[in-house]
Amino acid sequence: DQPFVLIAGPCQIESAAHAQETAQALREICGALGLGLIYKSSYDKANRTSVSAQRGIGMNEGLQILSDIRETLQIPVLTDVHTAEQCAPAAQAVDVLQIPAFLCRQTDLLLAAGQTGAVVNVKKGQFLAPWDMQHVAHKIASTGNKRIMLCERGTSFGYNTLVNDMRGLPIMAQTGYPVVFDATHSVQQPGGQGTSSGGQREFAPILARAALATGVASLFIEVHQDPDRAPSDGPNMLPISALPRLFEQFRQLDSLVKQFI
């Protein structure tokens, strides 16, 4: 089995400079450890809790920034799309189109993403059983595009709480598609701060280790220089300064576990 690949970056594209700086820092850390990296960031937060929360930098500017990072740093980049119309332009700028969890059943969006030929990473809806992701994958694959990744980011568990069923990772892997574990959204507390979502950053590395121990293809982690000042998802993002030590642990763990499988 292949070593795990990191999908990492800040929740939002804050500015060209901030994006470049974060991408460079991540490339350096991953390079030193021999880890593959896909840079992740969003140009629009389309489903925030509150209407007055910050939406993001916008599609045109955001895609330009991601495309620049891809070119200057020579790393693949990922962003999420929210409508069928966004898929084609986004696929020009990035390598991986991501389908948000709430939208993972929207047939038109899945088909449009598939039709671009780009890799499509679908987050499992919080309302979906892991075995039902095969139908989601099948929608994309019906376009002829089988470059699909399936991503666990937590399942509804009572109110304002998510839980990861680690059995879901091997169940989704039975589709034959690579499985991603999203460690930082899994510790979100949706709506847990009243007008925004809370998070339990301290559990993200623990859940990441648990997921790696089951043998996943990729780890998704949102990171920030200063999470407590980030415009969104601050409570669950990890500080960049913590990454070298963590990623080294993850690398060793992944390498050991992949020997078992």
**Which residues contact a copy of itself (rule: CB under 8 A)?**
46-51, 55, 82-84, 102-103, 105-108, 110-111, 125-129, 131-132, 135, 138-139, 142, 155-161, 163-167, 169-170, 187, 190-191, 195, 200, 203, 206-207, 209-214, 249, 252-253, 256-257, 260
Closer CB to a copy of itself, 72 or 241, in the complex: 241
**Strand 238-239 relative to strand 77-80: parallel, antiparallel, unpaired?**
unpaired
- Least CB distance to a copy of itself at residue 156 (A): 4
Minimum distance from residue 43 beta carbon to a copy of itself (Å): 13
Count CB neighbours of 97 within 10 A: 27
Annotate 146-163 with b (16+ C-beta within 10 A) or e (fewer): ebbbbbbbbbeeeeeebe
For the bound state, the minimum distance from the C-beta of residue 11 to a copy of itself, rounded and expressed in Å, comes to 16
If one counts every other C-beta atom within 10 angstroms of the C-beta of residue 233, the result is 23
Rank residues 3 and 170 by Cβ distance to a copy of itself and give the closer one.
Answer: 170
Tell me if residue 65 falls in helix, strand or coil.
helix
CB of 111 to a copy of itself, least distance (A): 8
CB closer to a copy of itself out of 102 and 225? 102
Q: Quote the CA–CA distance of 236 and 10 in Å, as a whole number.
A: 11
Residue closer to a copy of itself by CB (options 55, 70) is 55
Residue closer to a copy of itself by CB (options 131, 226) is 131
Please state the closest distance from residue 209 (CB atom) to a copy of itself, in A.
4
Distance CA 109, CA 91 (A): 13
Rounded-to-integer distance, Cα 189 and Cα 198, Å: 5
22 vs 186, beta carbon nearer a copy of itself: 186
Q: How far is the CB of 56 from a copy of itself (least distance, A)?
A: 11
Tokens for 176? Answer: 């034959």
Least distance from a copy of itself to the Cβ atom of residue 259, Å: 8
- Alpha-carbon distance of 46 to 54, in angstroms, equals 10
CA pair distance 113, 149, nearest whole angstrom:
12
* Interacting residues of 74 by C-beta distance below 8 A, sequence separation 6+: none
87: which residues sit within 8 A by CB, 6+ positions away? 81, 97, 109, 112, 113, 115, 116
Q: Rank residues 56 and 234 by Cβ distance to a copy of itself and give the closer one.
A: 56
Q: Which of 209, 205, 194 is nearest to 236 (CA)?
A: 205
